[in-house]
Amino acid sequence: MAFSDKEIKKWVLSHKILTAIVGLIVLFIVLGLVLPSPPSETTQNQNNTIITGQAIETPVQTSLPSKIDSSKVAGVIDGDTIKLSNNETVRLLGINSVEKGQRCWEEAKKRLEQLILNKEVKLESDFDNLDKYGRSLRFIFLDNININVLMVKEGLASVYIVGSNKKYLSELEAAERQAKESSGCIWNKSFSCKDCIGVAYMRYDADGNDCNNPNDEYVKFSNTCSQECDMTGWTVKDEGTSTYTFPSFILQPNSMVTLKSGWGKDTPEELFWKNSGTSSSCPAIWNNDKDTIFLRDKAGLLVLEYGY
């Protein structure tokens, strides 16, 4: 059977196309055998750069490397602050001792003097190098003993974590539990209105900006007993240094009083912290993420501790 010139040209063109396709397939197979395939599992190079497939991810540094120095302690300011021989002021990390004039302040200061005054100590940093006052933030070690943890363990300071400075947190928390169980100095319990006073409600996050609406931030204390409780001279404190002292005040049986952070006229049902703070701070007291209420009687003994 004879083919026309048109049919022959069509057949030749189809044959060339098919040959080209087969050639490409063979080329891809050969390249696949020769070239290495991308890694299917996560690998790590010598610079600790994580390689996943063909994408390269460099780990984000979440904290600064620890800085360890040695220095001689020239002075003790209180239970959580010292002065070094180079005149550097150091705030002990992870802890908070009571303020001057409060119960256990003298004991904490004297104990810290006994431990490290005029001695060579090691100072270890954490995430932040300085606090907002320009003081160096450090853990203090003497003969491999963590002095910060020891102060908490002996009931002379409480755990106080700021920001991302969480090194030795588990040791600090264990020390605080032990101090509470043994009723260390700051954990000595009050017998004033024992088992009567409690926190009925806590509003730590005001509507809008806390600084502009401090009276919407408050705590309600309740007296669940059938006896009145004289709270004159009692103090309310947060985890930091903010402290309120009750004026002449009696909480009646089976009643409540609201302590607001801002300003106002005191009544039997409402009291006002009247905290003006400093020029750079706002009158709000309570942290919105985490804080603790410490209520103490006029002798400084602990009535209640309420954390959120």
Asked whether 84 and 72 are in contact (CB, 8 A), the reply is yes
pLDDT recorded at residue 51? 34
- Identical fold between 68-186 and 197-307: no
pLDDT recorded at residue 67? 78
pLDDT recorded at residue 21? 73
Unique residue bearing structure tokens 């009687």: 297
- Name the strand (E) or helix (H) holding 12: helix 5-34
Q: Could you give phi then psi for residue 206, rounded to 5 degrees? A: -70, 160
pLDDT recorded at residue 194? 86
For 68-186, CATH number out of 2.40.40.20, 2.160.10.10, 2.40.50.90, 3.40.1080.10 equals 2.40.50.90
CA distance 254 to 106: 37
The residue ranges of every structural domain in the chain are 68-186, 197-307
Q: Does this model's pTM top 0.85?
A: no
**CATH number belonging to domain 197-307:** 2.60.40.1260
Local mean pLDDT, 10-residue blocks, the chain (308 residues): 55 62 64 50 41 38 66 98 97 96 96 98 96 96 97 98 94 98 97 94 96 96 97 96 95 98 96 70 91 96 96
